[in-house]
Structures are given as C-alpha cells and as structure tokens.
Amino acid sequence: MTSAPVPAGDLDGSGLPRLLVTGGNGQLGRAIRAVAGAAPATAVVSLGHADLDITDEAAVSSVVRPGDIVLNAAAYTAVDAAESDVAAAFAGNETGPAVLAAVCAGTGARLIHLSTDYVFAAPAQPRPFEPGDPTGPESVYGRSKLAGERAVRKLAPDAHIVRTAWVYTGDRGDFVATMRRLERERDTVDVVDDQIGSPTYAVDLAAGLLELAGRIGRGDGTLPPVLHLTNAGRASWFELARAVFAAVGADVDRVRPCSTAAFPRPARRPAYSVLSDRVWIEAGLTPLRHWRTALTAALAGIR
C-alpha cells in the first residue's frame, strides 16, 4: 500500500501550507518560532541571514516551494547607519523583498512582508495612520522600506504588507531592554517625550502574523493587501520608559522628559506615527492587547 503524496509546500501532510520565515534569527523571527512552537498548527521553517540571503534570487528560488507562505521578517534596521549606508539599506529593504516577491509569484507561494511606521511623515493633525494614507518617509530607512513595499505590490499583487512599529522583546538590544539596563546603571535617564508611536511586543506581533498566515493558508481571499498591526494605545518614548521603570519597581521620577533636539541623531524620526488597526479588525483578525498590558507580560516573562 502506498501513501498519498505530500503536496508541495505541505511538509507534514496536514493540508496546511508550510510557513517559511526569513530573518528567522532576528527579534521577530525568534518570537515567531516561540509562538508557533507553543501552539503548532503548521510546519514552520525559520531561516536566518546565514541560511538565506534574500537578495540572492538563486538561493531564494532553491528554498521557496509552491504553496508556501513566506513571511519576510528580514530587513536592514540600522536606522541611523542607513543615512550613510544607503546601498545596504536599499539592498536589504527593497532588493531583497523584490526578489522574494518575484520568486513567490513565479512559484505560486504567498508572501507576507513586514514594513514600518517610518514610511509616514508626521501629519498636520495627528491621528492614527490608516493603511491607505499618503506616505512620506523622512529618512533613508523609511524610503528604503517604502521602496520595498512598492516592489512587493508590483511583483506579487496577492502579497500582504503588514506595517508595525516600536517592536521590542525586552531581553536584548531594544528600547525596553535598554531602559532596564539604564535603570540599573544610572540615577536618572533623559528620554524624549515629543515622539509618539505604538509600542509593540514582538510575541504579540508574532501571534497576529501567524493568525494572518493561517487565514491565507485556508484560502481566504478577502484579506486587504495592506494592514497595520501594533499593540493598542499610544505612547511617547518617555511614557514607555516610565512604564518600564514602574514594572521593575523603580521610581518613575528617575525618568526625565526631554525634546528630540536634545538628542540629535543622523536619521530623522517621525514625530507621530501611531498606526490604526481598524482595517485589521474589520478583516476579522484579532486585535492586539493594550501596550501597557503587553509590556507587563513581557517583563514578567524575562525576570
């Protein structure tokens, strides 16, 4: 008796597509592995940069299979370095996504591409950005990410672009982790209070992306091409820093507000980049919890 062949892209015979994650060793990639491993619903293959250079078309073609869902979490994210390293930023954020999109379109795979709030400029009247709002990046990083979005839309019209913002895990290298370290090292910390955004816990973001991938894998053709996904609510970096101090039992008054002008950086940051999750919710996808609740959970998990 012979067994039925496993469809291309279906590693475990479950009928669900294989999820191929690029940028698998990054902040979000690690979170996706953790969330998928805790509630396995499909086969997940996670590839770091050492495993796959997304700018290499031959390499990408060798791993993407018909029926796959490719979740692109690979990106050049050194915002300040991008101002002088323009070619590398556009290679990682435009060329790589373009290669993935072309290969996915050619093989019948589906693509979910991660983008950023940096594609927007601060509005004249602050309100949460909707997916269809006009873009206007103010940095090389933002321009490279917008170029990647456009390449994906052109080369893989059935792809989905998910913009997110202020992503952290709290355990290494990100803003929340930095505030935890500075709380131990300094008596006071000055943090800008004139940049407003949407703090997003990588684990919550990963859960939302896996839900989206599941809908795509079940053949849902109603999903919008561009979506926003962040934890609910908004905050300044100052407010987020105070929340970190409060969560670890430190005196929040040790965090002092300052202006962006007090900390000049090579790349200009959006003064307001809150993302609206209205389209995400209207698509029947689960909204993420409030950022304060998520931060509490994140810090409780790494103590």
Catalytic residue set: 141
| Residue 256: DSSP 8-state | E
Side chain identity, residue 147? A
142: which residues sit within 8 A by CB, 6+ positions away?
A: 116, 118, 119, 120, 270
Best CA proximity match to 61, nearest among 23, 95, 101, 33: 101
**Is the Cβ–Cβ distance between 65 and 104 less than 8 Å?**
no
Instruction: Name the nearest CA neighbour of 118 among 143, 91, 88.
Output: 143
Query: Which tokens belong to 81?
Result: 């370095």
Burial code (b: 16+ CB inside 10 Å, e: under 16) for 10-21 equals bbeeeebbbbbb
What whole-number distance in Å separates Cα of residue 132 and Cα of residue 189? 37
- Structure token pair of residue 38: 């805790």
Determine contact, residues 136/271, Cβ cutoff 8 Å.
no
Looking at the DSSP assignment, which residues form a beta bridge with residue 167? 200
SS3 assignment, position 57: helix
Output the CA–CA distances (angstroms, integers) from residue 291 to 69, 174, 298, in the order listed: 28, 15, 10
